[in-house]
Amino acid sequence: MRRMIAVFLFLAAVPLAAQHDAGKEGKGRHPAMGNPRAIEAGRKLFVNSCAGCHGVSAEGGRGPNLRKRGVWHPLEDDAMYTIIRKGLPGADMPASNLTEEQAWQVAAFVRSLTSPAMEHPPAGNVQAGEAVFWGKGGCQNCHRILGRGGMLGPDLSNVGATRATEDIRESVADPDADGFPRYKGATVVMADGRSLKGVARNRTNYSLQLQDAQGNLHMIDLAKAKQVRFAEHSPMPGNYKQLLTKQEMDDLIAFLSRQSVRPFDAAEKK
């Protein structure tokens, strides 16, 4: 694999600096990759050095969106590092003034944007985050982890293995950001006058699969409904940025990022 990367980089005529290999330990990845402290440091550097073009949340702007795979071709760690340091000749991406260590920190952060959070866990106090989840945050009213918690929101038992850290952070800070498919709040008035309320797990013009707070499923034939109203916002409160301190938010994200049913070490990457 390393040989392939080397060949690829050679052919691509990217001026290869030998020094970036110096930081690697044997065959493994650069120690910054997947390191919580490096990722956090990289995030701060990113905001100062990269956000001008790539956006504060890496959502893209003058430069590409770095979070959505659909518009970003994934690079090997080495290639990403090189681009961060040297820029992309011929494109708008300039060389940076970052040190070798800093460039690896940014690479670690950018990699974490599209990898399962468990593989690139963010900094933060996991235990404190756990306390926020089950306490002040009130997350358990709607979310569950391994059978504990509420029924209305997505199960979070495996969220660290399936979503990237920044996606989790975005969902907490701005629940409306992803359009909350399958979790739209809905109120249905049936032809006989009964009223049902919950989240729409699915819907068409003909049927609606509504789940209430107790988890009961109501399979509604919409021919028998008088009125259906969908909430404009996610049922999740949108004020977590105000409700939680920055430290509490970081701790909560750190806790959620580590929710993985299978231990990361034991899971073979596909």
Partner 1 sequence: MTTRFLLMAGFATALAAQVKYEDILKGPGANWLTYSGDYHGKRHSPLTQITAANAGNMVAKWTYHVPKANGLRTNPLVHDGVMYVTNSNEVRALDARSGRLIWEYKDTRSKKEAVNRGAALLGDRVFFVTGDVHLVALDRRNGALLWQKQYGRVEDGLYGSMAPMVVKDKVLVGVSGGDSGMRGYVAAYQAVTGEEAWRLYTVPAKGEKGAESWGKYVEYGGAATWLSGTYDPELNTIYWTTGNPWPDFYGGDRQGDNLYSASLLAIDADTGKMKWYFQFTPHDTHDWDAQAWPVLVDLPVEGKARKLVLHANRNGFLYVLDRVTGEYLRATKLIDKLDWATGIDAKGRPIPVAGKDPTPNGNRVCPGVRGATNWMAPSFNAATGLFYVITLEQCDVFTSSAKEPEPKKNFSGGGASPKPTEVGQFFLRAFDPKTGKRVWEYAMTGPAEMWAGTVSTAGGVVFFGDDDGHLVAVDAKSGKHLWHYQMGEGITASPITYSVDGKQFVAIASATAIYAFGLFEPVQ
3-state helix, strand, coil in the chain (%, to 5): 40, 15, 50
Under rule CB under 8 A, residue 142 binds partner 1: no
Choose the binding region for partner 1 from 94-102, 149-157, 169-177, 239-247 (rule: CB under 8 A): 149-157
Place of tokens 């997350």: 139
CB of 14 to partner 1, least distance (A): 33
Judged by CB under 8 A, the residue of 121, 198, 234, 248 near partner 1 is 198
The residue whose two tokens read 């509604």 is 220
# chain residues binding partner 1, by CB under 8 A: 38
Q: Which of 53, 134, 162, 243 binds partner 1 (CB under 8 A)?
A: 162
236: tokens are: 């999740």
What is the residue whose two structure tokens read 């979310």? 143
How many CB atoms are closer than 10 A to CB 71?
A: 10
Strand ranges (DSSP E) for the chain? 144-145, 148-149, 184-190, 195-203, 207-211, 217-221, 225-230
15 sits near partner 1 (criterion: CB under 8 A): no
Nearby residues of 19 by Cβ (< 8 Å), 6 or more positions away: 100
- Per CB under 8 A, does 127 bind partner 1? no
Q: Do 140 and 134 form a contact (C-beta atoms < 8 A)? A: yes
Q: Name the DSSP letter for residue 246.
A: H
- Closer residue to partner 1, CB minimum distance, 96 or 209: 209
Which of 24, 29, 68, 197 is in the footprint of partner 1 by CB under 8 A?
A: 197
Cβ proximity to partner 1, 14 vs 151, nearer residue: 151
Is residue 146 close enough to count as binding partner 1 by CB under 8 A?
yes
* 105 contacts partner 1 (rule: CB under 8 A): no
Q: Does 220 bind partner 1 (CB under 8 A)?
A: yes
231 binds partner 1 (CB under 8 A): no
Q: Where are the alpha helices (DSSP H) in 135-197?
A: 159-162, 165-173
By the rule CB under 8 A, 54 interacts with partner 1: no
Q: Give residues 244-263 in contact with partner 1 (rule: CB under 8 A).
A: 260-262
Cα 258 to Cα 118: distance, rounded to the nearest angstrom: 5
Nearest CB to partner 1, comparing residues 52 and 215 = 215
Can you give the binding site for partner 1, defined by CB under 8 A? 144, 146-147, 151, 155, 157-158, 161-162, 182, 194-198, 201-204, 206-207, 209, 211-221, 260-262, 267-268
